[in-house]
Amino acid sequence: GGGNFGIILAWKVRLVPVPEKVTVFTVGRTLEQGFTKILHKWQHVADRIDEDLFMRVIMQPSKTQKGNKTVLGLFNALFLGHANQLLKIMRRDFPELGLEKSDLSEMSWIESVLYIAQFPSGSKPEVLLEGKSLFKNYFKAKSDFVKEPIPESGLEGIWKRQVEDEGALMIWNPFGGMMSTIPESHIPFPHRNGTKFMIQYVVTWQDGKSSESRHMEWIRKLYNYMTPYVSMLPRQAYVNYRDLDLGMTRDGNTNFIQASAWGYMYF
């Protein structure tokens, strides 16, 4: 993936068992509903809450009922088990979210793939074979790995910047589980044990070149703001979110040290 160098001579697919039914939920919380404190707690539990639970957070600008700018956080999850079991886990380890039985939906695993990928409700599994993107827009993406929880003061700084661009989006994907059982030096992908979660920064727009510079400037400013809160020496990046900013030579002058930086960040 990600255009890495290598020649594959053979590969195998090993099917793993999944439950007959899995459970999903998407629960939204705004800043006015205490999202900052809830997300701060999420950082402490998401990578170790339960090996069968994946719970990411999707953040985007929104507006209050009075029309004021705010941030909406969507807790989007998949649990390999039944709803009652998940509810017990959440009430024990993450009660701050306030999850209710009515928030949960049980379905087959393949249906959950469509759900997490945000296909319209009622889509058939065959749509996964079509290879068509759900999103048709211009975008720029960047990434980070986080090893320590970001303090509430740091989160508040993120919100101030996120409401500045209507196309802003952040996705925080937890690590932990099987990822934490493999030391970072054992395989080419090093971002494993010791990583709490990964951030994907995204900004989207529809009008092509006319607003490109504004959106690019916004995401780069947010990325710079995040510097003290993410991995460092080197600052790491996810290879499948190709970021052409990494390794870019400055002022048009070829510089090997600058150009080679992307390799250290990805690998």
Residues with active-site annotation:
241
In contact, 112 and 78? CB cutoff 8 Å = yes
Q: What is the CA radius of gyration of the chain?
A: 20
Rounded to 5 degrees, what are φ and ψ at 14? -110, 115
Whether the bond into 228 is cis, omega within 30 of 0: no
Ranges of H-type helices in the chain: 35-45, 83-93, 109-116, 152-162, 209-225, 256-259, 261-266
Q: In whole angstroms, give the CA distance from residue 74 to residue 30.
A: 9
Taking the mean position of all CA atoms in its chain, how far away is CA 15? 25
d(CA 113, CA 147): 28
Tokens for 78, please give them.
């998949």
